[in-house]
């Protein structure tokens, strides 16, 4: 008996000597002390007043925009160049007869002998005119064409420089990481401060938001060029410039094309939000559907935005021949005849005044969609109203009360820092502590708590839906191929459109924003989870089956553990997608940082915008880094 007690005592002492146990003990003591003696809610008197000096800068900018040298010689000329490009492209498309753009698109793609794709894309060009939004689509095409062109002209050289210069990569990589982590709305705040409001500032914001993929993928393409190809060129006496132009860039074309495609998709994603700074076009039409609560018209206009992105993507792909791809020779005679035919058609169209689209079906065929949502709200009110009340009263209000009034803010900082230390080490722990505290010092603590609460609810709901579906699809390739087009559609529709039907169903408030964020975040969660399940190596599955494991045991004991890094990355993407929907939630009554960002943009109030932007950046960065670190910890060891 005494021996057993002695052994138990020794084991307890050895457990207490473990570093993690000692750290946990210290953290627990500090947490209890912080909760006992700390203050509830971040003290308002600690606000360091970031807004005041930035508002002062905004006033100075307004007064000196036409006289200060930095605006005279840099900012104003940059805006003028972008405005010239936007006005030129828009005026040119407005001048052309309506039937010329679809013909040009058809001929551009048809030169690759893809007649079906060329016909489909030409029909897509006509779609905005058929539904009566041809002028608005031209404005959006001009914005996207100029923005994507600037991204290519700037991004490809930067990608090449990043691939060839390691020091430059070290400097640029954190900047690109930050640009891809920060929600799109944060870019608009400094853009409005420096450049004001209008289509040109919207284009600059689109460039900043959409340029990281083309830089990264150009760099990746250059680095993935086989060394044997470079060494062969060196053996034949080629200079570095010749190797770049004749070997590396041609072989990197597939990666560059993928970068252009991703840039087009990201530019599409900011089209709606850019209307807050005066972009106009289709995004403005979508914003109006939110005010009018017209989900049918919103869907019709959103499909026009998708059509614009699809046309730009397919045309850009057809203009570049990938290495090893088939080169289609077109005789000069045919080319000259085609150009003359287009000139003749243009002159004929101008002469006959065939400029505007000749007919329009309008959006009346979308009215049944609006009627259907109204019927759904009336019929299922006994379900939607209790669901809305449960989310607001039992989850949002209770969580906000717990974080603002029950827990001391010091305890929140310590708990988050301890978790960061366990997941990612002391550097991340220190970053978390400083970041959370700084949010309080900006005066945005209540808004950040509101946004965090809604984010956690939306991400939890997304996980409960996306991860089981992704696991199920990962073992059924045929089912995944069937559902893939539906997921593609969900990822291409502008995010504001998701909020319109849910506002009609639940009325204005935080719930429509949460449910819309769930629908918006589900597709990448399903895709990444399915990818992780599908990529589990066959040898591990075969070994488990050989030892008599049942399919359920293989799933829970092999597939899911080995796919866990991918599942964590899926959660990471869902978190980023939900945060990207924060401003949309603010537009439909969600409150929090999203509402404050809209308030900052519409006034405009650069000081408030800076506080909100800092809070969103800190929150997004901490969540992103913690989830990435978790994925790395769960990564299976590499086979030796």
Residue-by-residue DSSP string for 267-284:
HHHHTTGGGGGT--THHH
CA torsion, ordered 359, 362, 368, 371, to nearest 10 deg:
-160
**Cβ pair 560, 471 in contact under 8 A:** yes
pLDDT of residue 172: 84
The predicted pLDDT at position 494 comes to: 66
Across 530-545, b (16+ Cβ under 10 Å) vs e yields: bbbbbebeeebbeebe
- As a whole number of angstroms, the distance between CA 488 and CA 265 comes to 12
* 497-502: long-range pairs with CB below 8 Å, 24+: 497/286, 497/289, 497/295, 497/298, 497/299, 497/302, 498/581, 498/584, 499/290, 499/584, 499/585, 499/587, 499/588, 500/289, 500/290, 500/293, 500/294, 500/295, 500/298, 501/295, 501/373, 502/588
Whether omega before 604 lies within 30 degrees of 0, making that bond cis, reads yes
Q: With helix as H, strand as E and coil as C, how does 218-237 read?
A: HHHHHHCCCHHHHHHHHHCC
Q: What is the pLDDT of residue 466?
A: 92
How far is it, in rounded angstroms, from Cα 131 to Cα 308? 14
Give per-residue pLDDT as tens, 335-364: 788 888 888 888 888 888 888 877 777 767
70: Cα within 13 Å, side-chain hemisphere: 5
C-alpha span between 6 and 3 (Å, rounded)? 5
| Predicted local confidence at residue 15, as pLDDT | 42
Distance between first and last Cα of the chain: 48
Q: How far apart are CA 185 and CA 86, in angstroms?
A: 22
Q: Give the pTM.
A: 0.75
Asked whether the beta carbons of 272 and 286 are under 8 A apart, the reply is yes
For helices 282-292 and 295-318, angle between their N-to-C axes, nearest 10 degrees: 160
> Which burial class, exposed, middle or buried, applies to 340 when counting CB atoms under 10 A from its CB (0-12, 13-18, 19+)?
exposed
pLDDT of residue 489: 67
Q: At what angle do helices 134-164 and 115-130 cross, to 10 degrees?
A: 130
Spell out the domain ranges in the chain: 380-640
Structure tokens at 427: 């550097």
Could you tell me if 222 and 160 are in contact, meaning their C-beta atoms sit under 8 angstroms apart?
Answer: yes
Counts of helices then strands in the chain (DSSP H, E): 34, 0
Q: Which two three-digit tokens encode residue 455?
A: 């984010």
The arrangement of secondary structure in 380-640, i.e. its CATH architecture, is Orthogonal Bundle (1.10)
Which residues, listed in sequence order, are joined to residue 40 by a DSSP beta bridge? 408
pLDDT at residue 5, as a whole number: 45
Could you tell me the CA-to-CA distances from 134 to 191, 241, 275, 409 in Å, in that order? 28, 45, 17, 53
pLDDT at 22: 62
In angstroms, rounded to a whole number, what is the distance separating the alpha carbons of residues 456 and 396?
10
pLDDT for res 180: 66
Name residues of the chain where pLDDT drops below 50.
1, 4-5, 7-9, 11-16, 323, 638-640
The region that residue 183 occupies, defined by phi over 0 for left and psi between -120 and 50 for alpha, beta otherwise, is beta
């Amino acid at each position: 008996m005494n021996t057993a007690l002695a052994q138990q005592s020794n084991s307890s002492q050895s457990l207490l000597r473990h570093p993690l146990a000692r750290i946990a003990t210290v953290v627990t003591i500090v947490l209890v002390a912080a909760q006992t003696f700390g203050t509830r809610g971040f003290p308002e008197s600690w606000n360091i007043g970031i807004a005041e000096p930035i508002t002062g800068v905004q006033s100075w900018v307004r007064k000196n925009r036409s006289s200060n040298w930095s605006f005279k010689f840099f900012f104003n000329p940059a805006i003028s160049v972008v405005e010239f490009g936007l006005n030129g492209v828009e005026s040119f498309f407005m001048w052309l007869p309506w039937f010329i753009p679809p013909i040009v698109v058809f001929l551009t793609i048809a030169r690759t002998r893809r007649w079906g794709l060329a016909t489909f894309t030409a029909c897509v060009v006509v779609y905005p005119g058929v539904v009566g939004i041809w002028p608005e689509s031209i404005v959006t095409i001009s914005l996207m064409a100029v923005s994507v062109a600037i991204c290519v002209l700037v991004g490809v050289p930067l990608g090449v420089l990043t691939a060839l210069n390691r020091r430059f990569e070290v400097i640029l990589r954190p900047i690109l990481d930050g640009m891809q982590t920060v929600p799109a709305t944060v870019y608009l705040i400094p853009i409005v401060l420096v450049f004001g409001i209008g289509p040109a500032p919207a284009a600059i914001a689109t460039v900043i938001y959409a340029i990281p993929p083309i830089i990264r993928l150009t760099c990746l393409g250059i680095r993935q060029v086989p060394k044997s190809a470079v060494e062969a060129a060196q053996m034949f006496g080629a200079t570095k410039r010749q190797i770049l132009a004749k070997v590396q860039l041609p072989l990197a074309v597939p990666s560059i094309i993928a970068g252009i495609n991703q840039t087009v998709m990201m530019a599409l994603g900011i089209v709606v939000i850019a209307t807050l700074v005066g972009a106009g076009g289709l995004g403005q039409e979508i914003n109006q559907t939110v005010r009018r609560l017209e989900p049918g018209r919103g869907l019709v206009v959103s499909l026009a935005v998708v059509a614009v992105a699809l046309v730009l993507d397919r045309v850009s792909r057809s203009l570049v021949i990938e290495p090893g791809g088939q080169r289609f020779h077109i005789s000069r005679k045919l080319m000259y005849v085609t150009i003359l035919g287009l000139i003749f058609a243009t002159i004929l169209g101008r002469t006959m005044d065939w400029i505007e689209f000749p007919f329009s079906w309008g959006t009346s065929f979308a009215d049944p969609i609006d009627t259907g949502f109204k019927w759904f709200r009336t019929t299922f009110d006994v379900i939607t109203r209790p669901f809305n009340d449960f989310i607001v009263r039992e989850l949002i209000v209770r969580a906000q009360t717990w974080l603002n009034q029950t827990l001391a803010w010091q305890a929140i900082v310590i708990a988050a820092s301890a978790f960061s230390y366990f997941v990612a080490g002391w550097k991340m722990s220190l970053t978390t502590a400083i970041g959370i505290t700084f949010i309080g010092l900006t005066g945005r603590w209540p808004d950040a708590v509101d946004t965090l609460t809604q984010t956690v609810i939306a991400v939890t709901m997304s996980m409960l839906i996306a991860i089981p579906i992704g696991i199920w699809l990962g073992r059924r390739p045929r089912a995944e191929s069937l559902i893939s087009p539906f997921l593609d559609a969900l990822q291409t529709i502008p995010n504001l459109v998701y909020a319109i039907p849910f506002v009609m169903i639940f009325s204005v408030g935080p719930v429509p924003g949460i449910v819309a964020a769930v629908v918006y975040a589900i597709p990448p969660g399903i895709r990444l989870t399915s990818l992780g399940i599908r990529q589990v190596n066959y040898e591990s599955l075969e070994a488990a089956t050989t030892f008599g494991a049942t399919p359920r045991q293989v799933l829970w004991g092999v597939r899911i553990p080995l796919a866990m890094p991918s599942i964590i990355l899926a959660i990471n993407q869902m978190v980023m997608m939900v945060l990207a929907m924060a401003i949309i939630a603010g537009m439909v009554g969600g409150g929090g940082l999203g509402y404050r960002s809209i308030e900052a943009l519409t006034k405009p109030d650069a000081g408030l915008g800076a506080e909100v932007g800092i809070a969103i950046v800190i929150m997004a960065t901490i969540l992103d880094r913690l989830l990435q670190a978790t994925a790395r910890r769960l990564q299976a060891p590499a086979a030796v």
